[in-house]
Amino acid sequence: MIGFLMKKSFFDGWDNLISIILINLGFILCLAAIFFLPGFGENLLGSASIFLVIPGILLIHVYAGAVSALIKEASDFQSFELKKVVVGFKANWKVSLLLGVVNSLIFMVIIIAFPFYLSFGNMLGVAGAGFIFWVSFFWIVSIQYFFPVYTRLEGSFIKSIKKCFLISLDNPGFSIFSLLYSAILFVISLITAFMIPGIGGILLFQQNAIKLRIYKYDWLEENPDGDRKKIPWDSLLFEDRERIGPRSIKGMIFPWKD
C-alpha cells in the first residue's frame, strides 16, 4: 500500500505539474512572510520579533485551506481548476485560520517553554522538556491529516481534529512514515526553491494518504468481523491502480522504451 501511495502521489503531481507549480508560487509568498517579517521588526522589537512569524503562519494556513479542495480533486483524478481557489477560500478560511492560531500557540510554547525547562539543569527540567516534546510530536504527527480529513470527512473543526488523533493512534507506523516522507519532500523542495514538489506536492501526498487509508475503514465497516491486520489492499486499491496504469518513471522519461 505504501509503495502505491508514493507512486500515485508522484504521478498525480506529474499529471498536474503546472497547476502544482502555480499553487507553490502562492506558498512561496507565504513562506517569504514567515522568513522576512521577523527581520523587519528586529530593530524595533529585538528578540520579540520572533512573534512576527505568526502572521506568516496564519497566512500559509489560510492559503493551504483555500487550495485543499483543488488538491483533493487531483487526488481523485478530477480536473484541476485553479479558479476554485476562491471557492476553497470561502469554504475553509475560518477553520484554516483557527488551525493556524492553534499551531502558532504551539510554536510559541515550543520555542519559549522548551528552552526554559532545559535551563533548569535537573531532572524536573528534563521531564518538562520531554513532556512538551512528545505532546508536540503527537500533535504534528496527527495534524498532518487535518486538511485531507476536513475536505473528505464532513465535520466541524473539533471533529476533524478528533478524527486526526484517532487515525494517528490507529495507524502509528503509517503516520510516522507519512510525516517522514513529507519531511523528505520538504528537503527536496529546498533544492528546487519550493517549486517542485513544494508544499503543494506535500499536501497532495497527505491527501492521497488519507484517501487510501479511508478504504481500510470503509472495508472494516462493511466487514465488522474482518481481521484488522489483514486488510485486502490488493482489491481495495484495484480501481486506483487501474486509473494510474502500468506507468513508471523510466517510461515517463523514455516513453519509446516501454
Q: What is the pTM of this model?
A: 0.90
Per cent of the chain over pLDDT 70 is: 90
Examine the pLDDT at 188 and tell me if it is beyond 80. yes
Yes or no: say if 140 and 179 are a contact pair by the CB < 8 Å rule.
yes
Q: What is the CB-side half-sphere exposure of residue 23 using CA atoms within 13 A?
A: 33
Q: Is the pLDDT of residue 25 over 60?
A: yes
Average pLDDT over residues 204-224: 94
Separation CA 210–CA 201 (nearest Å):
14
Burial-class residue 106 by CB neighbours within 10 Å (0-12, 13-18, 19+). middle
Contacts of residue 64, defined as CB under 8 A and 6 or more positions apart, other chains included, come to: 27, 96, 147, 199, 203
For 24, 138, 196, the CA distances from 189, given in Å and listed in that order, are 10, 24, 6
How high is the pLDDT of residue 46?
47
Q: What's the rounded mean pLDDT across residues 233-258? A: 76
Q: Is the pLDDT of residue 202 over 90?
A: yes
**Crossing angle (nearest 10°) for helices 2-15 and 198-222:** 130
What's the confidence (pLDDT) of residue 115? 86
The yes-or-no verdict on residue 131 having pLDDT over 90 is yes
Please indicate whether residue 51 or residue 152 has the higher confidence score (pLDDT).
152
Q: Identify the DSSP state of 145.
A: T
Q: Among residues 184, 243, 205, 242, which one has the least CA distance to residue 13?
A: 205
Is 175 a residue whose pLDDT tops 70?
Answer: yes
Residue 83 in 3-state DSSP? coil
Quickly state the pLDDT bin for 122 (edges 50, 70, 90): confident
The answer for residues whose C-beta is within 8 angstroms of residue 217's C-beta and 6 or more apart is none
At residue 141's C-alpha, the angle toward residues 136 and 144, to 5°, is 115
Percent of the chain whose pLDDT exceeds 90: 62
What integer is the mean pLDDT of 103-130? 88
